[in-house]
Chain A
């Protein structure tokens, strides 16, 4: 029994880690006022480049670093369209998701089924680091000047601007930061969690990460248990395979997301979305 429980916890951590990394990134982007629906695209780009680089260099850590860089570059694209060109953030994020899935599908041809020797263990410092990072990011967000700057860019950009905060720079940095974390999260999938490359291997994890940001109330600390709860559920759904067909089990995380969002909808009042979330900001204009 104890063994079973321990097993569940370990698996929950393994599955929850990439969700937490990506969710933390989205929390920061959204706290600064920019929705990035491209998490799925940034994650899959990270997954592919981490795998390809780890395979070529023989070093999975280099793969993860490159994955973070690629995620950041993809996010920069979104930041440019959403912040500088002030285009619709939802559509821009969706475009990024399509682009990432498409590009990795094209580039990844020939990489499927290639064995990867340079891998990271499923449970490593990265998993624990994600929890430490969540705590650190929470502290920064609520207890430092930098955190106030980030939150004000998302709550009241005009007021922040009036106080000398460069809203554009803050938004750019937060979106790029989110992209780096999403890239690393994707890389974790392809070099640590399931060392392999298959087209579309993120399988919707990016969308769940966005949902985690929402039902954590944009609070990095609450994202920890959100991510690991999902991890546990994911694992438990596999344990049910003897009784329930696998296709129906794979449905569960997605159904669960809707359920949790609906169930926590009432209790989220008071810690609602950043006031200016999704709204482009024009300096000097109300």
Chain B
């Protein structure tokens, strides 16, 4: 125990939720302050900039629903990463799994004519399966050969990226696309309904929210969820308990990559209605989802809130582009800084600060 002015500082084992929230919010604010230096470097008053961003994002009739629209892929990918990280599997490949899902969904939309709602349903099923396929290889390599999962999942992102590039430049290039690199537009049966006046494809959003509830139940109440948690928190104990790491990691990765695949289908069926350049399908949702999962600290329900927060950052990127003439890449600066401050502040979680003025009792242990 230490004294610091009128404060007592003592180590704690398990931090209270309120303290976790306080530290997280403080970290995010610190990141905003640090990012302010960039505005300042461009000759923009940071306070002014933030005022413009928040007012612009939160009050504009067109910009506000964009928060929800950006939240959808972030939520699905983030939920998947919560499960993967819980099993200590470093899935940095949500971006590639999302793209794989988009490809799977597009294949069904363009080449498998099905009647009415069956078309969309099949797109989601195939897209989910494509995402899983993309995530399974790194999982198997890690389990069977102990190959570093960070590297393999990342490499799979680049492979997916160039694969999509190839599809839209080559075999799947649309009849009507002329000089542009995208596929034909999907038939109407492959379009997701939007909330009128917005770009929010609510069915995918509902899917994400349902998944959040299901995963919370899965992790807390089922045997498999329990095994994932044990394997992640104490691999040695997991082995003594007879938990099969192969099965557990594969299950975690199926959930993780499948969710990202669903996000990919949502983007092409809800927003673009065609497959196009990979950096237009995903604005880096798969990478930003790492922050969604980390900020949620392993809780699927908290991921709903953190995905909303990241959705706010992404939609503010558009506002910054228009109102402040900042490149969209500025969102990556925000994301990087938030992640830095978030993990940098984690040490603080394991100390409790108590307000105790005037109690200068000498430490008996000295």
Contact = CB atoms under 8 A, between A and B. Distances in A.
Interface of A: 37, 41, 77, 80-81, 85-88, 90-92, 94-106, 109, 199, 204, 207, 210-211, 214, 245, 247-248, 250-251, 254-255, 257-258, 261-262, 265-266
A263 B201 CA distance: 43
Contacts, number: 141
Given A85-B344, A91-B343, A257-B151, A102 B336 contact: yes
B154 A207 contact: yes
Given A102-B331, A245-B166, A254-B158, A91 B290 contact: yes
Interchain residue pairs A-B with the least CB separation, the first 7: A102-B332, A105-B329, A99-B336, A95-B339, A247-B166, A98-B336, A102-B333
Q: Is the interface of A mostly helix, strand, loop or mixed?
A: helix
A106 B290 contact: no
Given A247-B170, A248-B162, 18 more contacts: A81-B343, A91-B339, A94-B287, A95-B336, A98-B335, A98-B336, A101-B329, A102-B329, A102-B331, A102-B335, A103-B333, A105-B329, A105-B332, A106-B330, A207-B151, A254-B158, A255-B159, A258-B141
Given A81-B344, A87-B343, A91-B290, A251 B329 contact: no
Contact of B145 (A100, A251, A266): A266
A99 B145 CA distance: 32
Which of B137, B332, B335 has most chain A Cβ within 10 Å? B332
B363 interface: no
B327 interface: yes
Residue among A81, A96, A101, A106 facing the most chain B CB atoms (10 A cut-off) = A106
Contacts of B141: 258, 261-262, 265
Nearest to A81: B344
17 contacts: A85-B344, A87-B343, A87-B347, A91-B290, A91-B294, A95-B343, A96-B336, A102-B334, A103-B38, A103-B332, A103-B336, A210-B151, A211-B151, A251-B158, A251-B159, A258-B141, A261-B147
A105 B327 contact: yes
Contacts of A257: 151, 155
B163 interface: yes
A109 B152 CA distance: 31
A204 B159 CA distance: 11
A259 B141 CA distance: 10
B58 interface: no
Residue among A88, A96, A97, A258 having the largest count of chain B Cβ atoms under 10 Å: A258
B13 to A, nearest CB: 15
Contacts of A255: 155, 159
